[in-house]
Amino acid sequence: MRIDLQDVTVRFGPVTAVDSVSLGIKPGEIHALLGENGAGKSTLMNALFGLVTPASGTISLDGKAHRWASPQDAIAHGLGMVHQHFMLQEEMTVLENIVLCAEPVGRFGFVDFARARSRLDEIAKTHGVAIDLDRRVGRLSVGERQAVEILKVLYREAEVLILDEPTAVLTPQEKDRLFATLKSFREAGKAIVLITHKLDEVMEIADRVSVMRAGRLVASSSLAETSKEEIARGIVGGDLPAARTRKQLSPGETVLAVDGLTVARRGRDVGPVSFDLRAGEIVGIAGVSGNGQAELIRALTGLELVRSGSITLCGNEIQKLDVEARRQGGMSYIPEDRQRMGLALRASVSENANAGRDDAGAFTVGPFLKHGAMAQYARSLIERYRIRVAGPRASASTMSGGNKQKLVVGRELSRNTPLVIAENPTWGVDIGAIDFIHGELMRMRDAGHAILLVSTELDEVIALSDRILVMYDGAIAGEVDGGEASRDRVGALMTSRAADALGAASPGAAA
Amino acid sequence: ADKFFVYVSPDQIGVNAFLKLGQAGIEEAGEKYGADVETYESRTAADRLENVNAAVNEGADIVVLLGFEFNDIVKQVAPTAPDTQFLIVDQCIDDRPDNVHCAVFREYEASYLVGVAAGMLTESNKVGVVGALDIPFLHRYTDAYADGVKSVNADASVDIRWVGGENPFADPVRAKEQAVAMNAAGADQIFTATSGGDFGVFEAAKEKDFDVYSVDVNQCPNAPGHVVDVTLKRVDNAMVQAIGAILEGEKKLTMALGLKEGGVSTIALEEDELADSGCLIADHPEVAAKMREVAGQIEDGSLKLEDPMFAK
Amino acid sequence: MMAFDAGKATRSALPWLFTFLWIAAIILALLLFVGAPVGEALSGFWNGAFGGRRNAYLMATLSRSALIVGMALSVMLSFRAGLFNIGGEGQLVAGGLVAALVGVLLPGPPLLVLVVAILAAMLAGALWALLAGVLQLFMGVPLLVGSLLLNYPIRYIASYLVAHPYRDVQSGMVQSHLVPQETWFAYFPGTRLDIGILFTAVAAAFALIYSYWTVHGYHTRLNGLSPDFARTVGLPVRRLTLQTLALSGAIAGMVGAIAVFGIHHRYIDGMLVQPLYAWTGIIAVLLVGMVPWAVPISGFFFAAVQTGAAGMERAAGVPKEIALVVQAVIILFVASRVSGALTASRGDGDGHV
Amino acid sequence: MFELIADPSFAASIPRFVTPILLAALGGALCERAGVFNIALEGFLLVGAFAAVLGAYFSGTPYIGALTAMVAGMALGVVFAEFNVRRGGDSIVVSIAINLLAAGLTTFFLRAIFDVTGAFSDPAIAGFSPIRLPFIENVPLLGPILSGQALPFYLALLSVPFLHVFLARHRLGLRIRAAGENPQALRAGGVSPKRVQLLALIACGALCGLGGAQLSIANVNLFVENMSAGRGWIAVVAVLLTRGRPWPLFFIALLFGAVDSLSFRVQGLGLAQQFTDMMPYLATLIVLVALSWWRARRAKGDAS
Ligand SMILES: Nc1ncnc2c1ncn2[C@@H]1O[C@H](COP(=O)(O)OP(=O)(O)OP(=O)(O)O)[C@@H](O)[C@H]1O
Ligand SMILES: Nc1ncnc2c1ncn2[C@@H]1O[C@H](COP(=O)(O)OP(=O)(O)OP(=O)(O)O)[C@@H](O)[C@H]1O
Ligand SMILES: [Mg+2]
Ligand SMILES: [Mg+2]
């Protein structure tokens, strides 16, 4: 099925997210869609899929124009989408998730699960994507979940597949399996749209490349007619920032010592984990999410109880202290979830900036607040970290994601503590902001702070870390020196059972 | 009209026969003495105060207050409103100013008589009584009834229970369950003083086939063949009489109405109503006779009853 | 503080107008349904809420709002801290009961008795609220459920105490003895409005200062907006929770004391429960989206709706029950606008995470 | 004490206490599972009780009464959905308003239609009569519980397994669960979660309406203001406690009904009425504490 988008424009209030974009997608091709954060890729695809209604423009399938009333319409016409944030019901089984919204019904609207099972058997045979249908999705790994998403699309007999950043969360091995599956789809004559930020993947698999910037389509050509550099220039609208060089420093004394730490977790405890972190070094923790990194961090920061083991910060045991005491003892924390943990979105920028400050005297008199001093401090952060926001009184929710992240990073780094724990500090922010945040982390390291960097973004860990610890199944699977790290090396350590999820058709990884 | 009477109820009037009688009384008085009348219903303690204040504020000549709930309020408001006359029906207060009048009833006399009937009619030697809520006022019914039972049948046991709950004066569901439970425990004569709950007790009587007694007005037709007798309380008469006296300039009027004054009664004592009342007591002349005998003793003072409201 | 934005105001004026028209239409329909004279009903409503000889009805409204606003302030402190304490009723009863018992039982100079009684009432309210907090923090009973359930035992305990050990036998009612007359709150000269409203005013001033200008208020607000955030930046979440609940309960307890010393002069069974002071307080707070300065106004508004409805009944024979319907309709339309707006602003941003 | 429990009238009274709570709680469970935090069950029950009397009075048959109650409950569900689901009003605010609205409308129409306040009772109100189950009624302990009850009780009993299967296997049941857990995903699948929530609220209204009918035309034959008398709140607690799962809900409702029924029977033992009135609430608190303690233990056990 051939898709044509003609002059599609999508507006959200005053924002024009997609500005008069025309794009063609042919059957039997993998069409990569690239662009900065907020460029409008997801919105464009959401419009194609009926999740948002375009202000103008037409969508036609095989030359016939359509208007979707809902995604159901689009699905009925053979479109399928795998959203970046998985659209799954954790409490339900795989089977229930797959049939949801496309239920084969028998009498009185009861679902005919047997019929669904036999259909899925067939699909497993043709495309080699299979997974235990009776497991609860909440218990699946990320890769397995993605398999469920793909099964959902296949189950609906989609002719067109839209995948929004499917590889961001996969290990290299899992990615290979996914790509193998995509190639089998291409052979079957399906049209595939692949949104990604990773140029290497585009070079590896795409047939055609389109680039968006600020809502407009700036380039669209077949892969053969373009180059990696050209695409990159198209994305950022100029030249790329120069690669970062790391100053060689000799690490100082131990700031954080973790010894035999175990943390309770449903199913199986995390740990025991032991490692040291010294002043002036960045230690990265890599791993597929769900392998215990989150629990480890929560235990270090005091958000969760430690089951056993010790944590020593600047010579003091802190495993029994609460969050406040640990922070005062020299720890700062940039949480991964800025919306929920990093900021109180409905509070003002100033209120957010001053939270958790140690120097209470600077903005209080007795029990009262000095609003002026608080605003002043917020303004200083805004300037120093180049945060784009109306002012200290603006609600934190009015900032874009990158700016929110800068505020969190700014607030935490300005505490100047010996230890900084940064969890996915650049998750979902665009190239400019990533560069800035990386720069700040390096600056802190050079100034002699110890930084624990936890990231699911392998490239980030490799680029910044002096040492890399890889976590797998609740324990540290290995350590790699920053200088010798490569994607494959670290990726191999991250190997997980999840790699089997996409079936035996693709080259397997040793488990 | 040149006069204005206001009747303030202590609670929702609803199916509360007693409060309805008050409304009938004020209307009768209004007609008789040529006055405009209005009824202000209260739901809560705060409403009562606001309603009394409003009655004064609207220029009422006589404010009739039904129930002991108004004692504090009258004490507060009456001295500040010398031009308004206050009539409290059902209770009296000490140290009254001149413009506060009382008409009270001795309900326990009638309840005692009903107890006498129950004591004579019980076959299981177990009788019961359900009150809406364990409050002193309702002991005038429950305790007096129990005393009446014991006076003729010393062996009988009396089960006293309360509706309680969120909505004690209007919870027929719980009232019914109480009656059913007492009946299951053996009680065959059950007295109900539960306001809105009475209907629940009647239903239980119909289902489980036992005898019931009730209060305030003739409720026998509500459960034909099951209601033995009811106590009567002539609030309307009392009101009309008292208002007449107040209009004649009486100060600090006090009326106490019991069997003797015709303020309270039972169907058994009303020989002209008895036959058409639909009450079972009509079929038990010997019981009715005994009740009349005891009533006579109470009226002539040879039998003295304590007011159970002040017991404890 | 919620910033006032003129452009936004004009944009949102139209929906507000529609909201208003809807409410007016529903009220009108109800009035027509009972065949009430609309003009008389409305003037009766207005007079009943704000009029009367020497403003007697306005005083009644103020007297009622002293309690409603007090309860609203109590609720506001909890809600802004993200604590869904709907046990204000129990805390109110605890306060009223203790105030009355201290007033009756404690010998001594009246002023001392009064001060001790009010402090004891605040303590009682605070402790009852803390109980709900302890149940949540240490026994896993959600605050919403725990605080609601705790309303009942205290109500029955109070009922039992004034029905049995501390009953004023002479009165024939389920009520305590009168507190000494010397401890009664004075009336404002020439009115039947007691000075209890001054306590509410002080509580309001306190609550406003607390919410806008104190460190504790700032911290609890952050905790209310995002408990995860508060924990992450190291605020002592448990302590804040308990302190806020105690504060909230203390204000509710004080309101109970105001009702005792200002209005009823004793504890009467049901006097604090039946008029739904606590629930009205909750509604008053939610109606204005927990914005502190608007809470007293909102509380006064609901008091006026209630007394006005009584006036409407007197003047035009319109059932007072209409007041409940009117309140419900106002809440539905207005609160769904307000909280809808709040949810919308909650969800924006770049959509990540 | 033992006598009390062995008493067949005690057993027979349990269903009368359980049915309104159970039906309301099942309705609440549907909302809970659909992601609607509906704590207005009290109001739903009340409206059902009133409408049942209205229907039964004018039609002369309890079936029309129950039907009227269900329709009225469904209408209230639509109102809830309009303000909570469609206009996005806070669910607690909307719930409180719905409770007020129910209290106001029932008293208002009581006065406007029947010209009484407080309560309405009339022989013309046709109530349900008990249904005798031929063989079961002779079974010793279960007989008095299962036989001789009114229709809503049997419907409530059947609803429990039905809802269990419905949520597990029915198309709408699946979607209701999805709307509660991840509405965004449902929307991406092309089904409007708001529509699903509306349907859940309507079904909740029907169940609560039936529960109200049990109160007003099965337990007794009359309507009294505020007749639900806290039963809706107990149902809310039951829903929160069981997270809307039908079977656990059934047992919790059974427990509450039995405690409630028992509580004022123990008055016969001389306990002050205030303390017996307290029992259901204390029992609830105790169950809550015990349950969370047990959950905490189990979670711990799980981890080690
Ligand atoms: N529902 C919405 N309301 C308002 N603005 C929106 C909405 N959805 C998207 N936007 C805005 O539209 C613009 C385009 O967003 P879109 O999600 O399409 O970007 P994207 O290219 O997918 O970026 P990313 O790389 O982060 O996925 C952004 O500025 C975003 O903030
Ligand atoms: N400002 C906004 N207001 C409301 N909704 C928004 C806004 N921005 C984005 N959204 C919604 O969130 C959805 C997902 O956002 P977005 O496109 O940024 O995520 P994504 O593309 O899946 O993630 P990523 O940015 O990591 O690629 C959007 O499609 C849109 O519906
Ligand atoms: Mg984005
Ligand atoms: Mg995107």
Taking only the tens place, the pLDDT of each residue in B83-128 is: 899 999 887 888 888 899 998 889 899 999 999 999 999 999 999 9
Query: Mean pLDDT of all residues in chain A?
Result: 85
Residue for token pair 């209604």: A53
Distance CA B81, CA B97 (A): 10
Q: Estimate to the nearest angstrom the gap between the alpha carbon of A131 and the chain centroid.
A: 24
Higher pLDDT, C218 or B168: C218
Residue A419 confidence (pLDDT) above 80: yes
Residues of C whose CB is below 8 A from A401: 349-353
Residue for token pair 């090396």: A489
pLDDT of the residue at C131: 95
Confidence of residue A434 (pLDDT cuts 50, 70, 90): confident
Three-class DSSP category at C237: helix
pLDDT of the residue at A508: 36
Residues of C whose CB is below 8 A from B168: none
Could you tell me what percent of chain C has a pLDDT over 90?
52
**Rg of chain A's alpha carbons, rounded to an integer?**
24
Confidence of residue A510 (pLDDT cuts 50, 70, 90): very low
- Tell whether D186 is covered by a domain: yes
Distance CA C238, CA C257 (A): 28
- Tell whether C192 is covered by a domain: yes
Strand partners, A277: A256
- Tell whether D111 is covered by a domain: yes
- D37 close to D228: Cβ distance less than 8 angstroms: no
Core vs surface per residue A448-474: b (16+ CB within 10 A) or e? ebbbbbbbbbbebbbbbbbbbbbbbeb
Nearest CB to D186; choose among A90, A101, A108: A101
Amino acid at C126: A
Strand partners, A93: A136
- D163 close to D29: Cβ distance less than 8 angstroms: yes
Is the pTM here over 0.90, yes or no?
no
Three-class DSSP category at A422: strand
- Tell whether C36 is covered by a domain: no
Three-class DSSP category at D21: helix
pLDDT of the residue at D264: 66
Query: Among A482-496, C77-91, C193-207, which is the least confidently predicted range?
Result: A482-496
Residue D116 contacts C where some CB pair is shorter than 8 Å: no
Residue B222 confidence (pLDDT) above 90: no
- Tell whether C94 is covered by a domain: yes
Nearest CB to B72; choose among C53, C174, C264: C264
Residue for token pair 């309270």: B264
Residues of C whose CB is below 8 A from A367: 214-216
Q: Which long-range contacts (CB under 8 A, 24 or more apart) does A241-245 make?
A: A241/A431, A241/A435, A244/A438, A244/A439, A244/A442, A244/A463
- Tell whether C35 is covered by a domain: no
| Region of residue C140 (phi > 0: left; psi between -120 and 50: alpha; otherwise: beta) | left
Mean pLDDT confidence for C42-54: 86
Give every CB contact of residue A139 below 8 A, 6+ residues apart in sequence.
none
Compute, in angstroms, the gap from residue A480 CA to the centroid of ligand 2. Answer: 35
- Tell whether C285 is covered by a domain: yes
Residue for token pair 């809808």: C340
Residue A505 confidence (pLDDT) above 80: no
Q: What beta strand segments (E) does chain D contain? A: 119-121, 222-224
- Tell whether C26 is covered by a domain: no
- Tell whether C227 is covered by a domain: yes
Residue C340 contacts D where some CB pair is shorter than 8 Å: yes
- Across the interface, whether the CB atoms of A110 and D174 are under 8 A apart is answered no
pLDDT of the residue at D128: 87
Give every CB contact of residue A384 below 8 A, 6+ residues apart in sequence.
A410, A414
Amino acid at A121: D
pLDDT of the residue at D121: 78
- Across the interface, whether the CB atoms of D121 and B166 are under 8 A apart is answered no
Residue D290 confidence (pLDDT) above 60: yes
pLDDT of the residue at C204: 96
Query: Among B165-169, B218-222, C90-94, D223-227, which is the least confidently predicted range?
Result: B165-169
Distance CA D149, CA D142 (A): 12
pLDDT of the residue at C11: 60
Taking only the tens place, the pLDDT of each residue in D84-122 is: 998 888 888 899 889 989 998 998 888 888 887 777 878
Confidence of residue D197 (pLDDT cuts 50, 70, 90): very high
Three-class DSSP category at A165: coil
Nearest CB to C215; choose among A337, A339, A369: A369
- Tell whether D138 is covered by a domain: no
- A425 close to A405: Cβ distance less than 8 angstroms: yes
Q: What is the CATH number of the domain that holds C298?
A: 1.10.3470
**CA-A15 nearest atom, ligand 2:** 1
Q: Which domain holds residue C224?
A: 41-335
Strand partners, A419: A331, A450
Q: Reply yes or no: is the peptide bond before residue C37 cis, omega within 30 of 0.
A: no
Q: What token pair was written down for D100? A: 């007020």
Residues 180-199 of D with CB under 8 A from A: 181-182, 184-192
- Across the interface, whether the CB atoms of D93 and C331 are under 8 A apart is answered yes
Distance CA A378, CA A354 (A): 7
| Overall domain count for chain C | 1
Q: Is the CB of A85 under 6 A from ligand 2?
A: yes
| Overall domain count for chain D | 1
Residues of D whose CB is below 8 A from C322: 104, 108
Taking only the tens place, the pLDDT of each residue in A461-481 is: 888 899 999 888 888 888 888
Distance CA C344, CA D182 (A): 18
Sign of CA dihedral A380, C348, C335, D185: negative
Give the strand order in the sheet containing A331-334. Answer: A331-334, A419-423, A450-454, A282-286, A467-472, A475-481
Give every CB contact of residue B276 below 8 A, 6+ residues apart in sequence.
none
Q: What is the CATH number of the domain that holds D269?
A: 1.10.3470
Judge residue C34's burial from the number of C-beta atoms within 10 Å of its C-beta, 0-12 exposed, 13-18 middle, 19 or more buried: middle
Nearest CB to A72; choose among D174, D184, D191: D191
- Tell whether D217 is covered by a domain: yes
What DSSP line would sit under chain B, residue for residue? --EEEEEE-SS--TT-HHHHHHHHHHHHHHHHHTEEEEEE---SHHHHHHHHHHHHHTT-SEEEEESGGGHHHHHHHGGG-TTSEEEEES---SS--TTEEEEEE-HHHHHHHHHHHHHHH-SSSEEEEEESS--HHHHHHHHHHHHHHHHH-TT-EEEEEE--SS-GGG-HHHHHHHHHHHHHTT--EEEEE-GGGHHHHHHHHHHHT-EEEE-SS--GGGSTTTEEEEEEE-HHHHHHHHHHHHHTT-SS-EEEESTTTTSEEEGGG-HHHHTTS--GGGG-HHHHHHHHHHHHHHHTTSS----GGG--
Chains touching B (3+ CB pairs < 8 Å): C, D
DSSP code of C106?
A: -
How close C174 comes to chain B (CA, Å)? 6
- Tell whether C194 is covered by a domain: yes
pLDDT of the residue at D299: 65
- Tell whether D214 is covered by a domain: yes
- A344 close to A355: Cβ distance less than 8 angstroms: yes
Query: Among A106-110, A230-234, D216-220, which is the least confidently predicted range?
Result: A230-234
Ligand 2 atom 14: residue of nearest CA: C351
Confidence of residue C4 (pLDDT cuts 50, 70, 90): very low
pLDDT of the residue at B113: 95
Query: Mean pLDDT of all residues in chain B?
Result: 89
Torsion of CA C11, C13, C15, C17, to 10 degrees: -160
Q: Is the CB of C348 under 6 A from ligand 2?
A: yes
Higher pLDDT, D273 or A7: A7
List domains and CATH numbers for chain A. Answer: 3-236 (3.40.50.300), 254-494 (3.40.50.300)
Q: What token pair was written down for D163? A: 């809802």
Taking only the tens place, the pLDDT of each residue in A146-182 is: 889 888 888 888 889 999 887 766 767 778 888 888 8
Q: Which domain holds residue D228?
A: 1-119+150-302
Give, rounded to a whole angstrom, the gap between the first and last alpha carbons of chain B.
Answer: 48
Higher pLDDT, C88 or D237: C88
Three-class DSSP category at D219: helix
In 3D space, the residue among B102, B104, B63 whose CA is nearest the CA of residue B81 turns out to be B63
Mean pLDDT confidence for B201-226: 90
Mean pLDDT confidence for A407-422: 93
Judge residue A135's burial from the number of C-beta atoms within 10 Å of its C-beta, 0-12 exposed, 13-18 middle, 19 or more buried: middle
Distance CA C26, CA C19 (A): 11
pLDDT of the residue at B156: 93
- Tell whether D171 is covered by a domain: yes
Residue A122 confidence (pLDDT) above 90: no
Q: Is the CB of A398 under 6 A from ligand 1?
A: no
Could you tell me what percent of chain B has a pLDDT over 70?
98
Taking only the tens place, the pLDDT of each residue in A239-277 is: 655 666 666 767 788 999 999 999 987 667 887 899 999
pLDDT of the residue at A199: 78
Taking only the tens place, the pLDDT of each residue in D168-177 is: 999 999 999 9
- Across the interface, whether the CB atoms of A346 and C215 are under 8 A apart is answered no
Give, rounded to a whole angstrom, the gap between the first and last alpha carbons of chain C.
Answer: 27
pLDDT of the residue at C39: 87
Residues 56-95 of C with CB under 8 A from D: 84
Distance CA B197, CA B167 (A): 10
pLDDT of the residue at C350: 32
Residue A500 confidence (pLDDT) above 50: no
Give every CB contact of residue A34 below 8 A, 6+ residues apart in sequence.
A41, A195, A196, A197, A199, A202, A209, A210, A211, A212, A231, A234, A235
- D214 close to D73: Cβ distance less than 8 angstroms: no
Strand partners, B127: B158, B189
Q: Is the CB of A402 under 6 A from ligand 1?
A: no
- B228 close to B190: Cβ distance less than 8 angstroms: no
Compute, in angstroms, the gap from residue C353 CA to the centroid of ligand 3. Answer: 10
pLDDT of the residue at B290: 94
**CA-A165 nearest atom, ligand 2:** 27
Q: Which residue of C has its CA nearest to B57?
A: C53
Amino acid at A156: R
Taking only the tens place, the pLDDT of each residue in D147-186 is: 778 899 999 999 999 999 999 999 999 999 999 998 988 9
Taking only the tens place, the pLDDT of each residue in C148-197 is: 889 989 999 999 999 888 888 777 678 899 999 999 999 998 888 999 99
Query: Among A337-346, A389-398, C10-19, which is the least confidently predicted range?
Result: C10-19
Amino acid at A263: V
Distance CA A192, CA A159 (A): 9
Instruction: Establish whether chain A is in contact with chain C, requiring a minimum of 3 CB pairs below 8 angstroms.
Output: yes
Distance CA C232, CA C222 (A): 11
Q: Helix D246-265 to helix D273-303 angle, to the nearest 10 degrees?
A: 150
Taking CA atoms, C187 is separated from B53, C54, C102, D264, in Å, by 14, 14, 22, 44
DSSP code of A242?
A: P
Confidence of residue C90 (pLDDT cuts 50, 70, 90): very high
